[in-house]
Amino acid sequence: MNAPLYIGLMSGTSLDSIDAVAVRFEPAFELLACHSEPIPAAIHAATLALFDPGDNEIERLGRLDLELAELFATAVENLIRLNALDRQQIAAIGSHGQTIRHRPEAHFTLQIGDPNLIAERTGITTIGDFRRRDMAAGGQGAPLVPAFHSALFRHPDHNRVLVNIGGMANMTILEAAKDKPVLGYDTGPGNVLMDSWIMQHKSESYDRDGRWAATGKVLPALLEKLRALPYFSEAPPKSTGREQFNLHWLEQTVQTLTEKPSSEDVQATLLELTAVSIADAIKSHHLSDLQIFLCGGGSHNSLLKARLTQLLKPHYLSTTAELSLDPDWVEAAAFAWLAYRTLNRMSGNVPEVTGAAGYRPLGAIYWG
């Protein structure tokens, strides 16, 4: 086939790796290749340090902007090399960049990983900075994946919910009726608090299958305090990030308990917080005949998946693997799709999701 290919790059809140995919959209969606590029420890640490205000931020940001761009370019080159892709067929790269600050209440968001450098290193047209056009139009700038979810997963006979569980969790409501708009928003924390807590107490990057959480018990008092955060009761459109859900906030909340909890009990409570906040958001839409599909790293956490299944009975719950797209590659594919939309002068946002004044083409084009 001679239809153009698009590459999508995604580095999420969890900072576990850079996901790179090559996809084709014509005549139908096809995932052709995928690659996961590890993030070196030094870059991981430098990125984490920029999530919070600190000294010499502009200097550190400038250096990291270039280091991440070099890493994104390397991810593209490895994707091409390892899968013997024809470089001449690649129309564009869609690079989400690394979010280091997301402040929708202040009308700004910032992703770094200079697209100029990616285009220069690869020679391929690169599209980046997807979120700020939506924000300029009065939107939250996030989540952006619901438009892709709708294009790929909407079904004429079934109501569906797509739940992406990355560092944060977001969901997309896809009702079967054609006249119903696509809805979606960030439900709250996905893996971010669990990952931060296990890193601090066990020096492990994540809790595989929720095994550590399974050794603890949910603390109702702590869960109640965490759920009291106003974000959970705010009406959409809404989006969030590490600015709200972070280790400092968690530790402050834990310290308000009358008795010091065990670290494993806190972990169990954090898993419950993720599960309950997702389930509550889904239930609030009162949909019947509902199919729920998970994607993102959290979809592999068997304890979390089991808890969601229990909370959301009798609704059907699975992963996007059942819809022929591995849950690990959905977000990267979404940014390839957004690049495809932008390059073809089409909109990429959903105003009902982000709150923007209307449909807008997203991102800036850096020609290869």
Beta strand 290-295 with 159-165 is parallel
Helix (H) or strand (E) holding 24: strand 17-24
Q: What is the pairing mode between strands 159-165 and 168-174? A: antiparallel
Contact 304, 88 (CB under 8 A): no
Confidence of residue 1 (pLDDT cuts 50, 70, 90): low
Residue 329 CA neighbour count, 13 Å, CB half = 22
State the Cα angle at 24 between 19 and 28, rounded to 5°: 125
**Residue 43, token pair as written in the block:** 């870059």
According to the model, what pLDDT value does residue 53 have? 87
Three-class SS string for 304-347?
Answer: HHHHHHHHCCCCEEEEHHHHCCCCCCHHHHHHHHHHHHHHCCCC
Average pLDDT of every residue of the chain: 97
State yes or no: pLDDT of 250 exceeds 70: yes
**Cβ contact 121:35 at 8 Å:** no
For the chain, report the end-to-end CA distance as a whole number of angstroms: 22
Distance CA 41, CA 47 (A): 10
pLDDT one-digit tens code per residue, 269-297: 999 999 999 999 999 999 999 999 999 99
pLDDT confidence of 16, banded at 50, 70, 90?
Answer: confident
DSSP state of 287: -
Tokens of 341: 């939309």
Residues 261 and 220: their CA atoms lie apart, in Å, by 12
Whether residue 314 is preceded by a cis peptide bond, meaning omega within 30 degrees of 0, is: yes
Which residue type occupies 31?
L
The single-letter code of the amino acid at 115 is P
Separation CA 254–CA 234 (nearest Å)? 23
| pLDDT average, residue stretch 18-23 | 98
Residue 166: name the closest of 222, 221, 109, 206 by CA: 206
Structure tokens at 318: 């699975």
167, two tokens = 């560092």
Of 10-24, 166-180, 183-197, least confident by mean pLDDT is: 10-24
Q: Report d(CA 109, CA 234) in Å as an integer.
A: 20
Q: How far apart are CA 213 and CA 194, in angstroms?
A: 9
> Residues 223-230: what's their mean pLDDT?
98
At 2, is the pLDDT very low, low, confident or very high (cuts 50, 70, 90)?
Answer: confident
Q: Which residues 6+ apart lie within 8 Å of 212 measured at CB?
A: 198, 202, 204, 264, 267
